[in-house]
Structure 1
Amino acid sequence: MTPLIDEEVIVLTGANQGIGYHLLTALAKDNRQIAALDINGDNVLDVQDDVPARVRYYECDVTDTDDVNTVVNDIIEQWGRIDILVNNAGVARVAPFQEQSIADTRREFEVNFFGYQRLIRAVLPHMLDQGIGIIHNMCSGTADTGHPGMSGYSATKGAIKAFVRSLRLELRDTDVSCTLMVPPSVNTGMTANLAYPEWMTVGPEEIGHKLADKIHSTRSVITPDRTTRIGLSLTRRFPSLWRRITAGVVGSQK
């Protein structure tokens, strides 16, 4: 079906599962136009079948610069614009540092850090020419606190945090905003190997829907709710509390 030209267009990476999938479904129910990017689109295609005029799946490997540039150009050609980018694609290797290889960490950076940069490099010139845009980047409290068994993942999120803060300063005289989205601990495939207590985690559907409600926020740091904001503040202020909470969440961690 023909896209609805001149309506706002949202680009969402990592859209096939976890927070990304539920963010996609919430945005689709809210009649948004979404270009959904992922290397696997089985779940996205089901959503696309329901609302083909508003959701389109684009197979995209965020570690491939040519792939990213081609997909972004296709989106602009087919939809006419890009108003919001949500960098959500992510991977994590859960294991103690000594069991992780350089290749493991390099893979995490290629997806979680350079993947974000590739999308921003492709989208930002268009947003600046357009005169407006929002770039959301999924971050994590581990950027501040660290996390046992997730040294590489935490490092990528720390890098994203510093990068976004710098880019936000560079864009301060424009109408393009750059933000960090920080969810709580979420029950996804990425955290399946972590023995979190049940009270500590939240379902991805809840977080996806709450973040969808904040899709137009330009705050520097966006959390899905007040509880998450307070929790992040407490773990930063009292690191000993975070050490106790995460003690033993990785079975082989000493």
Structure 2
Amino acid sequence: MTPSNDEMVVILTGANEGIGYHMLTALAEDDHRIAALDINGDNVRDVRSDSVGQVRYYKCDVTDTEAVDTTVSEIIDRWGRIDILVNNAGIVRVGSFQECSMADIRNEFEVNFFGYQRMIRAVLPHMRAQGSGIIHNMGSGTADTGHPGLSGYSATKGAIKALVLSLQLELRHTGVSCTLMIPPSTNTQMTADIEYPEWMTVEPEEVGRKLADKIHSTRPVITPDRTTRIGLSLTRRFPSLWRRMTAGVVGNTE
């Protein structure tokens, strides 16, 4: 029997700001129980004060395996189950390939790829034991198109896409689903250094709330709306269009 919203437990990483924060507020309004993970919890605590018993903040660095395992164990001890994981934590280093050091790229992979892996490894045994669960992973259109000035970030998202495709095959008979959530270009602090024209970006509140509405979806690829889905399809089919759209958006990266 599928549990109701107020019985389900959602783990959301990167919950303190941007898309993650607005997913958190929307899920709290829908009476989900949410374990909100981030290294900073100032904004999460405000949501928690309005949703006593529903939202709990866990200070957790997804680059720390021990911290991830301990946090997931604490969530299980408190609520007894994990129904949905949203791997949303992410960082980006904006700059040309030559400007970005190997340490920069490793740091992006530690958060954006290995951080996702750590979370999946920690929750998957519990989901398989209960015979159900959904693992959402925040992807990006840059996994298919690339992006000037975002070579490291794009590479992490390409790795996430390949990981999700593999897990979808491995988990297809287990009751556990694995998805890619792909937002449009979003006006967050993480993308503040990218000089997108205003028409190319969407506010994080709109994106977060739309993705929260699809938290129970098990579709292989989830977008917040039809516009994003069409945009992704066009940029994949017509790469020259994407090259023109991104020309100069991060300044001179030559």
Q: TM-score range by the shorter chain?
A: over 0.9
AA aligned to 1:192 is: A
Query: TM-score normalised to the size of structure 2?
Result: 0.97
Aligned twin of 1:224? 224
- 1:252 and 1:99 mapped to 2: Cα distance? 11
Residue 132 of structure 2 aligns to which amino acid in structure 1? I
Question: In the alignment, which residue of structure 2 is the partner of 1:21?
Answer: 21
The CA deviation at 1:150 is 0.3
The alignment partner of 2:196 has SS state of coil
How far residue 252 of structure 1 moved from its aligned partner, in angstroms, is 2.9
> What's the offset of the Cα at 1:80?
1.0
Matched residue, 1:67? 67
In the TM superposition, what is the alpha-carbon distance from 1:159 to its structure 2 partner?
Answer: 0.1
* Aligned residues with identical type, % of pairs: 76
Letter in 2 for 1:205: E
Contact persistence 1:92–1:108 (CA under 8 A): yes
2:56 pairs with 1:51: no
User: Is 2:231 the counterpart of 1:234?
Assistant: no
Determine the C-alpha separation between the residues in 2 that align with 1:251 and 1:227. 27
Q: Are the equivalent residues in 2 in contact too, given 1:95–1:252 (CA < 8 A)? A: no
The question of whether the paired residues in 2 share the 8 Å contact of 1:181 and 1:223 is answered with yes
| Counterpart-to-counterpart distance in 1, 2:153 and 2:194 | 13
Task: Provide TM-score, normalisation by structure 1.
Answer: 0.97
Return the letter of the residue paired with 1:54.
Q
Residues in 2 aligned to 1:132 and 1:120: alpha-carbon distance in whole angstroms = 14
The 1-side partners of 2:193 and 2:205 are apart by: 20
- Map of 1:79 onto structure 2: 79
Q: Per-residue displacement from partner, 1:63-122 (whole Å, max 9, x unpaired)?
A: 000000000000000111100000000000000110000000000000000000000000
- Contact conserved, 1:62 with 1:111, CA < 8 A, in 2? yes
In 2: Cα distance, 1:39 partner to 1:250 partner: 28
CA distance in 2, matches of 1:230, 1:144: 14
Q: Give 1:219 deviation, angstroms.
A: 0.3
> What is the aligned-residue RMSD (CA, Å)?
1.2
- Which residue of 1 is the match for residue 39 of structure 2? 39
Partner of 1:178: 178
Which runs of 5 or more residues in structure 1 are unaligned? Answer: none
| TM superposition shift of 1:11 | 0.2
Distance 1:223 1:230 in 2: 10
Deviations for 1:102-149, whole angstroms, at most 9, x for unmatched residues? 000000000000000000000000000011000000000000000000
| 2: CA distance, partners of 1:104 / 1:92 | 9
Q: Report the counterpart of residue 110 of structure 2 in structure 1.
A: 110
CA shift, 1:52, in A, is: 1.7
In the alignment, the residues of structure 1 paired with residue 37 and residue 218 of structure 2 have an alpha-carbon distance, to the nearest angstrom, of 22
Please name the residue that 1:214 is paired with: 214
Aligned to 2:187: 187
